[in-house]
Copies of this chain bind each other. A is one copy, B any other.
């Protein structure tokens, strides 16, 4: 029966990386930090929240991923799922063959209460995703992970209610339509969009709640958490 120190020269490093999205000021942002000047690899580089998977600390990868987020406990993360697993020597070229398991998470603004539980001097920041992808060098394979996560977000916006998670608990159909248009990079027809939403059970009308402005107030809705189907229900088989 082998133990932890058998095969010690054969095991890769295992790490987790998390891409957390939020929606603010009309753009999609993600949380990054600047690596310490004294880091032995990628000093001063921008990096996604990450951690070494340490079996003396973590019971499983999800736990490690949430640990990497360093959010206060009990914070609500309305969307959290595994993304992709990367591997090879290219991830950490100066050290060791690495396996990187990535996660995608969504959080809405009001819920964010961060606590840095270690390494207090690093700078946490929420930066625009498009800006990071186009203009910033990132540590390890984090650019690759970010692109993969952003693509998944955009593609899920086509056929699931994922965008709702970026909008918080209550939102108008107009807000959902605008955000969806950003994600799918296309214009949507008002009437059609509303029809589809009404015919699915995706959203629940919040009785008496309105978003007010210098115009007719907009009915607010919340995501029906019982709704597990697609936003666009048609595929090969019949709807529902």
Q: Which residues of A contact B (CB under 8 A)?
A: 1-5, 7-14, 40, 52-57, 59-62, 82, 84-85, 87-89, 94-97, 99, 101, 157-159, 180, 184, 186, 188, 231-232, 234-238
For the complex formed, measure the closest distance between the CB of A14 and the CB atoms of chain B, giving whole angstroms.
Answer: 6
In the complex, residue of chain B having the shortest beta-carbon distance to the beta carbon of A232: B235
Kindly state the separation between the CA atoms of A237 and B186 in the bound complex, as whole angstroms.
7
Kindly state the separation between the CA atoms of A158 and B233 in the bound complex, as whole angstroms.
12
A99 touches B184 (CB 8 A): no
Residues of B within 8 A of A52 (CB): 7, 10
Select one of B1, B11, B60 contacting A11, CB under 8 A.
B11
Interface of A is mostly: loop
Contacts A1-B40, A101-B99, A236-B231; is A12 near B188 (CB within 8 Å)? no
For the complex formed, measure the closest distance between the CB of A184 and the CB atoms of chain B, giving whole angstroms.
Answer: 6
Select one of B10, B53, B88, B232 contacting A99, CB under 8 A.
B53
9 further interface pairs, Cβ-Cβ under 8 Å (given A10-B57, A11-B53, A59-B88): A2-B95, A7-B13, A53-B87, A62-B87, A87-B101, A180-B236, A184-B236, A186-B236, A232-B235
For the complex formed, measure the closest distance between the CB of A126 and the CB atoms of chain B, giving whole angstroms.
Answer: 27
B87 touches A85 (CB 8 A): no
Number of identical protomers: 2
Select one of B59, B87, B231, B237 contacting A184, CB under 8 A.
B237
B232 touches A11 (CB 8 A): no
B8 touches A5 (CB 8 A): yes
In the complex, residue of chain B having the shortest beta-carbon distance to the beta carbon of A181: B236
A1 touches B95 (CB 8 A): yes
For the complex formed, measure the closest distance between the CB of A134 and the CB atoms of chain B, giving whole angstroms.
Answer: 23
Kindly state the separation between the CA atoms of A123 and B159 in the bound complex, as whole angstroms.
43
Select one of B10, B59, B97, B158 contacting A235, CB under 8 A.
B158
Those 8 A-B pairs whose CB atoms lie nearest each other, nearest first: A8-B8, A55-B97, A60-B88, A61-B87, A11-B11, A60-B87, A10-B54, A158-B235
Contacts A55-B11, A101-B99; is A159 near B3 (CB within 8 Å)? no
Which of A7, A52, A59, A231 has the largest number of chain B CB atoms within 10 A? A7
Kindly state the separation between the CA atoms of A4 and B5 in the bound complex, as whole angstroms.
11
